[in-house]
Amino acid sequence: MQKKFFNRSLKRTAGRMFQLLLLLLLAVFLFFLRKVFPLINGYAAKTMCSGFFVSQRTQEDIRRHELGSFPFNLASVAVNLQDSSATAVIAGLFERTALYRNGLGATLISANTAAELRKQHFYLSVPPAINQDSIDWPQGNRTHNPLLPALDTLQTGNATRALLVLYKGKIVAEKYAAGFTLRTRQPGWSMAKGIENALLGILVNAHRLNIDAPAPVAAWKNDPRNSITTSDLMHMSSGLHYASSPNSPSDLTEMLFMQNNMAAFAQQALPEHPPGRVFHYADASANILSAMERSILGDSAYYRLPYEKLFYKTGMYSALLEVDGSGNFVGSSYCYATARDWARFGLLYLNDGVWNGERILPPGWVQFTRKPSGAINNEKKGEYGALWWLNAVGKNGLRKFPHVPADAFACQGYEGQFVWVVPSRQLVVVRLALERGKKLDVDALLSGIISALPQ
């Protein structure tokens, strides 16, 4: 009798456990549906829209590479040529659309409708009518110096789409993967933060911004966050709490692929540490800085700022900063430019912020950019300056790239993008890529390039 009772009890327990397991699996599935599918569709729509309309690549190439692996291949993506948009959907669920607008790039539709985005008014600059093919480098594209054959044998990784090396301001190596040319705009991802650094420097040079004063963010005016300085935000030491995983649901992916106003979302973060004390890399800081520029300048000057004060002056005519649904430049992530224009940007910093005799950035700005964060408890101690990465001595007493000079500094972006500047060797190296899986040995590449240069 006791044995039968025990068996029935065991069966009931097993049945309940099975039911709980089913409920758990259902909860996980619903979470995946509600949280992950919209992100996948958002990424797929935005990537297709920018890749097709901004980079002018084929839909098939974008599907095969950017969207060809799990989980992005779950989404069906279609381009609408009449509407200049791209739409992604998974099994008919959580459809997302990105809209292309000339001069603004691709914007992922979140709170607004496509019609509302079309009605937005922007004060866009008109680029000068210049044929760069008839002008000498670096202002133009005409080059005369021979390339260095020794650089052709360097291992750049299968993911590399463009590699360009400047030595003493001249192009000494330039290689492109099939389907990419010197005219292909490519995404910099977080290299956009380097652009953001330059725009802030231009405001400082115009006496419109004091980076050591509290950041002019209206949402923080009457709370403890009003002690966060612009410099804190630039050094990623604001003390605000962000979850920054790029490959799973987090504050970062929510901001980039779900939010209409990325800066407003970022400004809601709560303090976790006192400002200036702890380094924590967060894209949110760059978007707060971008919106801050808009509040300082007003819309007309804000939209002209990167083009008239930076891109057109340095010959970066391909460069395009994309906006979110609220009209703010996405200073953390969305800047497209050719490899040559990324190289021109690096050359500006190699030349201490001076271009053709004109000072674009304030005196001492590049030195400030290369100054390591003073934050304590710093998991990247010595590796980060003001929106640029450094090759300084880190927490373990070693440089991250031991065979590269200590004065090297870089813009770096997701999936293997970088612009390295090495002042002691008068060197700029640009690498653009789609790096998933095995990563390039950057130390070996840079040290190999330096070894191949004339002594």
Q: State pLDDT tens for residues 273-308.
A: 999 999 999 999 999 999 999 999 999 999 999 999
Q: State pLDDT tens for residues 212-226.
A: 999 999 999 989 999
| Residue-range domains of the chain with CATH | 2-119 (no CATH), 149-452 (3.40.710.10)
Q: Residue 394 to residues 276, 277, 325, 372: CA-CA distances in angstroms?
A: 18, 17, 39, 10
Residue whose pair of structure tokens reads 């450094």 in the numeric block: 390
Q: State pLDDT tens for residues 350-405.
A: 999 999 999 999 999 999 999 987 776 555 656 899 999 999 776 667 888 999 99
Q: Residue 246 to residues 1, 94, 108, 356: CA-CA distances in angstroms?
A: 59, 20, 17, 39
Length of the chain counted residue by residue? 455
Per-residue pLDDT, averaged over 82-103, amounts to 96
Work out the angle at residue 292's Cα, subtended by the Cα atoms of residues 290 and 293, and round it to the nearest 5 degrees: 70
d(CA 269, CA 361): 31
pTM listed for this prediction: 0.92
Nearest to 366 by CA among 335, 395, 408: 408
Q: Do 189 and 414 meet the contact criterion of CB atoms below 8 Å apart?
A: yes
301 residue type, one letter: A
Share of the chain above pLDDT 90, in %: 81
Q: Do 106 and 97 meet the contact criterion of CB atoms below 8 Å apart?
A: no
Q: Indicate whether 441 pLDDT > 80.
A: yes
Q: Do 327 and 116 meet the contact criterion of CB atoms below 8 Å apart?
A: no
d(CA 296, CA 36): 36
Neighbours of 286 (CB within 10 A): 28
Nearest to 219 by CA among 228, 210, 206: 228
Q: State pLDDT tens for residues 368-383.
A: 999 987 776 555 656 8
Q: Indicate whether 4 pLDDT > 80.
A: no
Q: Indicate whether 137 pLDDT > 90.
A: yes
Q: State pLDDT tens for residues 149-174.
A: 888 878 788 899 999 999 999 999 99
Give 202-206 contacts, CB < 8 A, sequence gap 24+: 202/305, 202/309, 202/310, 202/360, 202/361, 203/293, 203/296, 203/297, 204/362, 204/365, 205/359, 205/360, 205/361, 205/362, 205/365
Predicted pLDDT at 328:
98
Predicted pLDDT at 332:
98
Per-residue pLDDT, averaged over 419-442, amounts to 96
Predicted pLDDT at 232:
96
Predicted pLDDT at 34:
66
Q: How confident is the model at residue 243 (pLDDT cuts 50, 70, 90)?
A: confident
d(CA 265, CA 287): 10
Burial of 29 (0-12, 13-18, 19+ CB in 10 A): exposed
Q: Residue 393 to residues 155, 232, 278, 299, 352: CA-CA distances in angstroms?
A: 26, 21, 18, 41, 22
Work out the angle at residue 55's Cα, subtended by the Cα atoms of residues 335 and 164, and round it to the nearest 5 degrees: 70
d(CA 203, CA 205): 5
Residue whose pair of structure tokens reads 């000079």 in the numeric block: 405
Q: Mean pLDDT in the chain?
A: 92
